[in-house]
Chain A
Amino acid sequence: MPAPLLQLTGIGLSFGATRALDDVSFELRAGEVHLLAGENGAGKSTLIKILAGIHPEHEGTIRLDGREVRFATPQAARRAGIAVIHQELSLVDAMSVEDNLHLGRESSRLGGVWLDRRAHGQRALALCRELELELTVGDLGRPVGDFPLSVKNRLEIARALSGEARIIVMDEPTSALHRTEVDRLFRLIDGLRARGVGVIYISHKMEEIYRIADRITVLRDGRLVGTAPRAECPPATLIRWMIGRELSQQFPARPAARPERRVALEVRHLRVAATDPARPPVVRDVSLTVHEGEIVGLAGLQGSGAAEVLHALFGARGRVTGGEVSLADGAYEPREPRRALARGLVLATADRKATGLVLPLSVTGNITLAALPRFSPGGVLRPQAERSAARARVEELQIRLASPEQEAGALSGGNQQKVALARWLETRPRVLLLEEPTRGVDVGAKHEIYALLNRWTSAGAAVLLISTEMPELLALSDRILVLHRGEVAAEFPRAEATAEKVLAAAMGATSAEATKTES
């Protein structure tokens, strides 16, 4: 039997007093998709960073094709054929698509001085075709920042492929993708598998794990729990390995909605123009009602306008182009986030890095930021009050940290997400607009967030929810509205909503096909 493509033995790494990884061994064969699972902070990202040459001081050995190697720099790892697609996108927004795809491996002529623009353009087009990215030659010259997250995500993958990688690490590649795009990604991974590329895949989504993984390895608290072929590691085993205990069910039961509840948010004929005035409006005509204690799911594919509805209601896009909005206490005009917050309306955004957290600020500072006037009567901060509030939220959401005074940027992705939620919680909101509230969060933490949503709504809060994870959307929503091209295409009460119906409506199937109910 030939040596495995990649073999890690006895890998360990400490940060100060923290033992991030301890004696972890891992093997990747050519042509295999090896799933790496574990709760937030279990050490997955650290292991990937070691593989990517970011922590050359690690213990243990790395063997590539049976030969021992040690990557001193990220460049060395890349040259050895290891490409990492990071959870937090690492594209340069201001640079063009084409330049991003070739960043760090430019083709050049004249001894490396002149960039070979033509070769770049051709290779970029070929890559986009391979990834089914419908970009024109003109699009290749546009800055990456112009494109939505889902396109950026695939560009990130394209960039990894442009380096002729033999080992590709995908850290939650689907967190920003819609279902059809996930299918596309999986076809691509199948192609990689056939070419003998080894894929290390990190995901928290059950349905993906069992569609794509050949073998599964689980880490917990920096240690190896086990490695098993997919067939020998059913979901119950996987969850037990990850959290060290049994979870009775994936979603807690929703208490039945009481119909007599008051209206918390009413939107009539909302219209939102595109950022580029030459393009058609992103939201054409959306009307919806959310009652107190109710969770309304907003479904829709990329470009449906679902995310824009949330951002526009929060006032993050300035004044809306048309329509009327009212809250429980009267008419409301979206203009800027400050006004929304003052009316008890909050938006937890999906893009944690750009619009969620202030990473250099302490965890405490982040948690109290949106409710700061309450913690500073007369303009003077009350550090005691801030600390005790932060401690309570850290406890409630089980945020794992060294100290509430540490910078939020030092936390793992899932814990950052919890800090962001804690901040909105601290404002005591009446209407919550949630965009992917469990993105990048591990199974155990997801469970906590679901339970939290139930508690909020029992206390009378209204929730408008977007989630690309269909099981989550179905399990949490009392009603689901499906958006297609900026309009409400269908509405399903909880009992009638199925993944098939929602997806069909989101893809623009006729009302008969989608068995549309009253709207």
Chain B
Amino acid sequence: MKATRWFNHPGMRALLALGLVLALGCLAHADGAFFRWSTHRDMLRQVSVGGILACGMTLVIITGGIDLAVGSVLGFCAVLFAQLAVHRGWPVGAVVLVVLLAGAAAGTASGALVARLRVQPFIATLAMMVFARGLAKWWSGGQKISSAVQKADGTYVYVDLPAIFQWLDARLLGGNVAAVTLVFFACLGLSWVVLAKLRYGRYLYATGGNEEAARYAGVPIARAKLLAYGLSGLFAAVAGICQAVQEQQGDPEAGSTYELTAIAIAVIGGNSLAGGRGGVGLTLLGALTIGYLEKILSINAVAESNRLMLTGVIIVAAVLLQRRRAG
């Protein structure tokens, strides 16, 4: 029997961590900057790309795995998106479709290594992380892909960026919310539907909770894992498009170390790396906690060196706060 006190619910503990960060913001409000809506709007915009990656990461973590490749897949997808949309001038719909399929394919490949060939998730996705980064550099020739297009004679011409670069970078709802933030919320919603409403969502939990027992109960383990990693790749592609739009270019180096941000968001929210527990509600709380933390440090003009050190300390503190009571 376990204690069922309120703080034993992971959501409550994640809220507590978020509340502490918000309290910090109220104390260090940088001459009222923290109380302006634009600060919150910018925070949401800045945390969106990491948050989108964290949605896929949550699905994978619930199966008891980890996806280290999301940052690199993001980079490749950003390059692919910019190349097809800007340089080749493909119609936007086709570009988005191809990029999403590419991301999903990369994720599914990781998933196949994990599910079919039984490579450990850490190793399989580490390999995919290196491979996808190489692919991004090969595809782009090592160059950032921007509106400057090199002609055969070596001169540059500048082309107009397709309209999607404006749409996604726009502020909607009376300038109150960035479009990427809505994309992030859509990804959260999709993940929530998968986890809470679909049969395969239950299979993800069962696989992560006890793979052997799930197999004995007839759960299609391999397909569940393929789904989780495939969706993680898909979300990485979405994040890649958002990243390219925000940077107005496709940078082959984009998204490096973002996998760590995504893991940090999922874990700070209280998703257990052991698998079998958690949900995207927690991931949202984690994204807000990380987002506010970075925002508060930046509006107070804390130097980057100190910011990184402080973030490290606070991540540990947040995770310690959420640890399940032993016994």
Contacts and interface: CB of A to CB of B under 8 A. Distances in A.
Interface stretch (B111-119, B183-191, B200-208): B200-208
A337 B210 CA distance: 15
A381 B218 contact: no
B221 to A, nearest CB: 10
Contacts of B217: 337, 341, 358, 369-370, 423
Contacts, number: 99
Interface in B66-80: none
Contact of B210 (A18, A340, A342, A357): A357
Contacts of B209: 358-361
B206 A361 contact: yes
Contacts of A380: 197-199
A336 B215 CA distance: 8
Interface residues of A, number: 41
A366 B237 CA distance: 34
Contacts of B200: 379
Contacts of A301: none
A216 interface: no
B277 to A, nearest CB: 5
A360 B277 contact: yes
Contacts of B33: none
Contact of B198 (A16, A316, A379, A423): A379
A347 B197 contact: no
Interface string A65-103: 000000000000000000000000000000000000000
A372 B202 contact: yes
B3 A16 contact: yes
Contacts of A402: 4
Contacts of A486: none
A358 B206 contact: yes
A114 interface: no
B216 A316 contact: yes
B299 interface: no
A361 B272 CA distance: 13
Given A20-B1, A55-B327, A376 B213 contact: no
Given A16-B3, A380-B198, A341 B212 contact: no
A380 B202 CA distance: 10
A369 B219 contact: yes
Contacts of B202: 365, 369, 372, 376, 381
A275 interface: no
B220 interface: yes
B contact residues, range:
20 to 34
Contacts of A337: 215-218
Given A15-B2, A357-B213, A361-B206, A338 B220 contact: yes
Nearest to A339: B218
Contact of B199 (A316, A340, A359, A373): A373
Interface string A310-344: 00001010000000000000000000111011100
A314 B3 CA distance: 38
A126 interface: no
Contacts of B327: 49, 54-55
A45 to B, nearest CB: 9
Given A356-B213, A357-B213, A365 B3 contact: no
Contact of A338 (B1, B196, B206, B218): B218
Interface in A35-53: 46, 49
A381 B210 contact: no
Interface centre among B4, B205, B216 (most CB of A within 10 A): B216
Contacts of B210: 354, 357-360
Nearest to A365: B202
Nearest to B211: A358
A381 B1 contact: no
Nearest to B277: A360
A497 B2 CA distance: 45
Given A15-B4, A20-B1, A46-B1, A355 B276 contact: no
B1 A18 contact: yes
Contact of A360 (B2, B198, B205, B220): B205
A365 B206 contact: yes
Contacts of A357: 210, 213
B282 to A, nearest CB: 14
B28 interface: no
B199 A358 contact: no
Interface in B274-300: 275-277
A349 interface: yes
B36 interface: no
Interface centre among B199, B217, B275 (most CB of A within 10 A): B217
Nearest to B62: A360
B214 interface: yes
Nearest to A386: B202
Nearest to A424: B217
Contacts of A451: none
A193 to B, nearest CB: 31
Contacts of B212: 354-355
B79 to A, nearest CB: 34
A459 interface: no
Interface centre among B201, B202, B215, B272 (most CB of A within 10 A): B202
Given A337-B216, A358-B214, A15 B1 contact: yes
A410 interface: yes
Nearest to A402: B4
Contacts of B272: 360
Contacts of B208: 360
B206 to A, nearest CB: 5
A358 B213 contact: yes
A423 B216 CA distance: 11
Contacts of A18: 1
Interface string A51-64: 00011000000000
Contact of A372 (B5, B199, B213, B215): B199
Contacts of A16: 3-5
A347 B3 contact: no
Contacts of A49: 327
Contacts of A365: 202, 205-206
A372 to B, nearest CB: 6
A4 to B, nearest CB: 28
B3 A15 contact: yes
Contacts of A341: 217-218
A54 B4 CA distance: 17
Nearest to B272: A360
Interface centre among A17, A336, A358, A373 (most CB of B within 10 A): A358
Contacts of B197: 380-381
Contacts of B219: 369, 372
13 contacts: A15-B2, A15-B3, A16-B3, A338-B220, A341-B217, A354-B212, A358-B217, A358-B276, A361-B205, A365-B206, A372-B199, A380-B198, A423-B217
Interface of B: 1-5, 196-203, 205-206, 208-210, 212-220, 272, 275-277, 327
Interface of A: 15-18, 20, 46, 49, 54-55, 314, 316, 336-338, 340-342, 347, 349, 354-361, 365, 369-370, 372-373, 375-376, 379-381, 402, 410, 412, 423
State the 4 A-B residue pairs at the shortest beta-carbon distance, nearest first.
Answer: A360-B276, A376-B199, A358-B209, A341-B218
Given A358-B206, A359-B209, 7 more contacts: A16-B4, A349-B216, A365-B202, A370-B217, A372-B202, A376-B202, A380-B197
